[in-house]
Structure 1
Amino acid sequence: MKSHSLQLKHHDQGYWFVVNRGKLKLTTESLSIPFGAWNQQQITEPEMICHIGQWQEQPCYLVVSNDQQQEPEQWHSARALLEQAEQVWFELASRAVQLALFLQTHRYCGQCGSKMQLVSWELAMLCHKCGHRCYPRISPCVLVAICKEQQILLARSKRHKPGFFSILAGFVESGETLEQAAVREVYEEVGIRIQNLRYAGSQPWPFPHSLMTGFLADYHSGDIVCQEDEIEEAGWFDFAALPDIPPVQTLSGRMIRQLQAETSADE
């Protein structure tokens, strides 16, 4: 998908992903993306508009808004669209939120300080003075679902509500492979060693610009020791009695259910 700066006419139609301070403007009835002609009255101070894709033969646009967030009940995170019937809405909304952050944080060149512009033939910001070019940042993050017989290791970070558990996660560091990051993060966060690491899938995640990469693994050795200031609690949970876990629309939720199904089939 190519993105480029646009000057839209009032009769141009499409799906509008209006982003302000990391939030999307959604209709309150069904949390849907507005469709119709461009209406300057809807966003009085658009900072930038760009094409971000297509859905059902209609163009999709990102509008970065500087307006004050009137009617706060209409502004939601991209996660609000995660459980919609059409998965494409979450995917496009995630793309819009990530690109809005990229555009807002690359107004000026980090090399010479001059104003940057969105180029028309690829998704990049270009400084015409020194030639410095920036592309949207993507931060790879590993998710690891660890199985031990009929149990899975789940943890709760300080950011999660009490009773909600998920699999372990962490960002990839410079110079690491995804597999090395998975092994390191598990040992750092809960103090155990894993084996039989295998790829499970990936999912873009707009908080703020992550790419989640999932791995399944088997327990090898060690006792759970939670990393201070990171993991509030962790433990082995029977697949037959899981706590509150992420929804199936998330990669972590799918991985937990995949291991649950595999262990059930082995019985």
Structure 2
Amino acid sequence: MIQDIAPHIYHNEYSPMEPEEDSYLLYFEPNRTLAAWEGEQFDFPRFRDFPEVKQKLSDTVIYLFTIDSCRFYLAKELALPERKGFRLDSTRNFRDAAPQWLSFAGITAYQLWHWYDCHKFCGHCGCPMVHDGKERMMRCPDCGQTEYPKISPAVIVGVIHKDKLLMSKYAGRTITHYALIAGFTEIGETVEETVKREVMEEVGLKVKNLRYYKSQPWSFSETLLMGFFAELDGDDEDITLDTEELSTAGWFTREEAPAQPLNISLTSEMIWQFKKGLV
């Protein structure tokens, strides 16, 4: 999956050190990122590429994280960013861009950029927020309200019955490939209850014998995904489709199940586990 970047090591502890010339300098706009793109290969700019940006932490130069010994920083402002071979392009490129460890850095940084962008002002009193010096946190100097990066729990469910897997397509999206049942956990709900509720809401089926598989941080939607396999409760395979969420759904054998060619997502890995007979 996209976060599997070994032998590289991701360090997410908040260690706001001053940047150096070869430190990565990341810049984002809504759904776009600045990089040097050459086919599927890409690279992020460094501080040396934008000498007008001071190598100093500030409200507009923010420490993000470190991978191995490479430190990543967010530039909240850049005048004329598209130069020296760098151009703004879709963050969706990270799904198949190489190297993978930089793609993982990109989606993680974009999640943090979006969080900073949405927390400029206190949601309690409306005053401008300030960066905390010790934690990755925004703090209101007036009322003391604190905000940490948002992570939304969600589930991915592979429903299996008589050696067939339930697969579906989302409604109203440009994505046309098949996926698994998925949904966010609601307030006051366990993830196990989320599994059962989402399957019932989207396809009108009951499930049993839930088996936890694996989790994945999915920064494209600020989500922590938790994957489960489950069995159909009963023999009634008839699907009642929620047409607001899904455009189609059906049962597929191991040979028929359409798998995504890129194994960067938890959904894709779970489908391949089924196709290979490992679940």
Instruction: Answer yes or no: same fold by TM over 0.5.
Output: yes
Deviation at 1:145, TM superposition (A): 0.8
Q: Bigger CA drift: 129-138 or 80-89?
A: 80-89
Aligned to 1:227: 242
Deviation at 1:138, TM superposition (A): 1.0
Tell me whether 1:39 sits opposite 2:50 in the alignment: yes
The 1-side partners of 2:175 and 2:116 are apart by 36
Verify the 8 A CA contact 1:187 1:193 in the aligned structure 2.
Answer: yes
- Structure 1 residues 42 and 117, CA, compared in 2 at 3 Å: closer, same or farther? closer
The 1-side partners of 2:210 and 2:42 are apart by 38
- Structure 1 residues 63 and 177, CA, compared in 2 at 3 Å: closer, same or farther? same
Aligned to 1:184: 197
Deviation at 1:81, TM superposition (A): 2.4
- Percent identical pairs in the alignment equals 28
Q: Report matched runs for 1:81-120 at 5 Å.
A: 81-84=94-97, 86-120=99-133
The 2-side partners of 1:246 and 1:20 are apart by 29
Tell me whether 1:15 sits opposite 2:24 in the alignment: yes
- Structure 1 residues 104 and 145, CA, compared in 2 at 3 Å: closer, same or farther? same
Aligned to 1:62: 74
Aligned to 2:6: none
The 1-side partners of 2:15 and 2:33 are apart by 20
- Structure 1 residues 197 and 39, CA, compared in 2 at 3 Å: closer, same or farther? same
The 2-side partners of 1:67 and 1:155 are apart by 44
Aligned to 1:241: 256
Aligned to 1:125: 138
One-letter code aligned to 1:227? D
The 2-side partners of 1:48 and 1:139 are apart by 26
Deviation at 1:160, TM superposition (A): 4.3
- Structure 1 residues 164 and 7, CA, compared in 2 at 3 Å: closer, same or farther? same
The 2-side partners of 1:86 and 1:183 are apart by 37
The 2-side partners of 1:170 and 1:183 are apart by 10
One-letter code aligned to 2:105? L
Verify the 8 A CA contact 2:28 2:110 in the aligned structure 1.
Answer: yes
Verify the 8 A CA contact 1:156 1:233 in the aligned structure 2.
Answer: yes
One-letter code aligned to 1:54? T
Question: Could you tell me which of 52, 55, 58 is aligned with 2:64?
Answer: 52
One-letter code aligned to 1:33? F
Number of residue pairs aligned between Structure 1 and Structure 2: 260
Runs of 5+ unmatched residues, structure 2: 1-11
- Structure 1 residues 107 and 247, CA, compared in 2 at 3 Å: closer, same or farther? same
Aligned to 2:265: 250
- After TM superposition, the score normalised by the length of structure 1 is 0.86
Deviations 1:20-58 (A, max 9, x none): 223211211122223452614589xx9722222222312
- Structure 1 residues 256 and 171, CA, compared in 2 at 3 Å: closer, same or farther? same
Deviation at 1:68, TM superposition (A): 7.1
- Structure 1 residues 96 and 68, CA, compared in 2 at 3 Å: closer, same or farther? same
Runs of 5+ unmatched residues, structure 1: none
Verify the 8 A CA contact 2:59 2:131 in the aligned structure 1.
Answer: no
- Structure 1 residues 256 and 155, CA, compared in 2 at 3 Å: closer, same or farther? same
Aligned residue for 1:152, secondary structure, equals: strand
